[in-house]
Structure 1
Amino acid sequence: MGGLPVVLVHGVRTSATMWRAQVAALERAGHRAVAVDLPGHGTLRGQRFTLDGAVDRVAATVDDVGGRALVVGLSLGGYVAIAHAARRPEQVAGLVAADCSTRPLAAVVHGWVLLARGIGRLPDAGAGLNQLMVDLTLAAEAAADVGAGGYALDVMDDVLREIGRSRPVEDLARVQAPVWIVNGRWDHFRSEERRFLRACRDGRLVVLRGARHLASLDQPVGFSRVLLEALDVVGG
């Protein structure tokens, strides 16, 4: 396949399989699309998650597809993709940071830690609650995609500790490539999207109607359209 390749980075507890619809759309348009599993997730379950390890995983995948790509991340993957773009600018032709427009402030992270630890103490470690939320919030096809790689229910302590140390706004200010800040209309993580946008040297904001936190799963066609438009801009 010709054109600029695309590397896709998943959200917390999920895996590369959540990107099935986008991989299919990109490949139909003639682009190589590779969805990566982060440490502790999918095929890398059992590994400890660290931000450095996650960034290295993205960097290695970009190297595998030719050394330069449109890098797309959602939620946890968005924070990782922003850090990667700041650290490895030569690898990033464009950055799509989705559903991650809230700084991981100490008070916010602490609240999530308490919630995650409470859920983790359930007899099934939260598996039933996780599946209930998937069934209630996602269409059947999207639920099947996000669940196909299994759920990493034991990564939250590591993820929250590491993301709590990240500085996405400062990192965005260092990103040289064009940036797309993409959020679902009803995403609870879009509270600081204007701050994130102002930090970008070359940024634009896209809000997908009808989408919540997992915008690529709620609005797969609209999200894929954003990626194809980004590829047009960066010369893909």
Structure 2
Amino acid sequence: MSIQVVFVHGIRTSATMWRAQLAHLADRGIAATAVDLPGHGTRMAEPFVLGSAMATIDRAVRDAAARGTVLLVGHSMGGLLSIAYAGAEDPPPVAGFIGASCTALPRGAGLAAYRFLARRFNSLPDKGLWLTTRVLAATLPDETRADFAAGGYAFDAQDVALASLAALDLAADVHRLRMPLWWINGQFDQLRPQELLFRRLTPHSELIVVPRTSHLITAMRPRVFNALLDVAVATLEQDALQPS
């Protein structure tokens, strides 16, 4: 069976953030899909509900699993949700997982500070859009710069989505991940603090830190991320050839 890739976006953005990866896989003839979580992208009018977000991932994974072997790829909040999904006590049909920019446990002072900053930005007249646009213009290459904004920014869903992450028991979920697994972080990623804990909880995993890269690793270094995506695909293809 062929490899099927399912992408889950981060907070505020949408499925459009994966355009470079979808184009890369399409050129290789590998099937892939990117979901929009509730409150984001094409579903901006919906409220963000944790159960609905998990159901969105589940539908995409099970649909892909009907056609092949599933590689699940999540970025930031999408990575945290995908950890909770793939690490469930009753494991779903996920054969491999890439967690990008998501090696942090969303709880305590760190989560409270993130929510405080998000609320402050949302209180600005443009909800921080001017600053976001300037940062992306300064850090992302021309080829991917528009991708994060193409589906719109889910400002209204941000605080609710962040608050919902506290309900997850990610340490237990990470520990249950048994499939081939890659943690990919940028050198200057703000969600790196607990990457060594994640690595200890998944001793079979690989931790890859990309130099001179921030949190937006998929768009900041698309060729590097795509190369790592190729490694994951090749690994699952090789595993599929092994006798059971």
Shared fold (TM-score greater than 0.5)? yes
Q: Which amino acid aligns with 2:82?
A: A
Partner of 2:96: 94
- What CA distance in whole angstroms lies between the structure 1 residues aligned with 2:104 and 2:145? 25
Which residue of 1 is the match for residue 137 of structure 2?
135
Amino acid at match of 1:43: T
**Hey, what does 2:74 align to over in structure 1?**
73
Structure 1 distance, partners of 2:170, 2:224, is 25
Residue 214 of structure 1: aligned partner: 216
Q: Which residue of 1 aligns with 2:10?
A: 11
In the TM superposition, residue 124 of structure 1 has moved relative to its aligned partner by 2.0
Instruction: State how far apart, in whole Å, the 2-side matches of 1:181 and 1:51 are.
Output: 23
Q: 2:48 aligns to what?
A: 49
Task: Report if the CA contact (8 A) 1:210-1:219 is conserved.
Answer: no
Deviation at 1:148, TM superposition (A): 1.2
Query: In structure 2, what residue type is equivalent to 1:224?
Result: N
3-state SS of paired residue (2:99): strand
Aligned to 1:176: 178
Cα deviation code 1:22-54 (max 9, x no counterpart)? 111112222101011111100110212233221
Paired position in structure 1 for 2:22 = 23
For 1:131, the aligned partner's letter is T
Which range moved further: 211-220 or 57-66? 57-66
CA–CA separation in structure 1 for the residues paired with 2:135 and 2:156: 17
Q: Per the alignment, in what secondary structure is the counterpart of residue 91 of structure 1?
A: coil
- Structure 1 residue aligned with 2:111: 109
Q: What TM-score do the two structures reach when normalised by structure 2?
A: 0.91
What SS does the corresponding residue of 2:47 show, helix, strand or coil?
coil
Q: Which amino acid aligns with 2:132?
A: N
Deviation at 1:201, TM superposition (A): 5.2
1:146 aligns to what SS in structure 2?
coil
Equivalent residue letter for 1:24: A
Structure 2 unpaired stretches of 5+: none
5+ unaligned residues in a row in structure 1: which ranges? none
Pairing 1:126–2:107 present: no
**Shift of the alpha carbon at 1:65?**
2.0
1:35 is paired with a residue whose SS is strand
Amino acid at match of 2:71: L
**C-alpha contact (below 8 Å) 1:186/1:212 kept by paired residues:** yes
Per the normalisation by structure 1, the TM-score is: 0.93
Tell me, yes or no, if the aligned pair for 1:210 and 1:218 is still in contact at 8 Å.
no
Q: Which residue of 2 aligns with 1:157?
A: 159
Residue equivalent to 2:84: 83
Question: Which moved further from structure 2: 104-113 or 14-23?
Answer: 104-113
Return the offset for 1:13.
0.6
* Cα distance in structure 2, aligned partners of 1:188 and 1:18: 19
CA–CA distance in 2 between the matches of 1:49 and 1:193?
27
Which deviates more from structure 2 when the two are superposed, residues 144-153 or residues 12-21?
144-153
Query: Deviation of residue 115 (structure 1)?
Result: 1.2
Once structures 1 and 2 are overlaid, which stretch shifts more, 145-154 or 122-131?
A: 122-131
Distance apart, 1:105 and its partner CA: 2.2
The answer on whether the counterparts of 2:9 and 2:74 sit within 8 Å (CA) in structure 1 is: yes
Match of 1:199 in 2: 201
- Separation of aligned partners in 2, 1:63 and 1:57: 10
Query: Secondary structure of 1:141's partner?
Result: coil
For the Cα contact (< 8 Å) 1:89–1:176, is it kept in 2? no
Q: What SS does structure 1 have at the residue aligned with 2:2?
A: coil
Does structure 1 retain, via aligned residues, the 8 Å contact 2:65–2:93?
A: no
Percent identity, aligned pairs only, is 38
Is 1:228 aligned to residue 230 of structure 2?
A: yes
Mapped partners of 1:122, 1:114: distance in 2: 13
After alignment, is 28-37 or 87-96 more displaced? 87-96
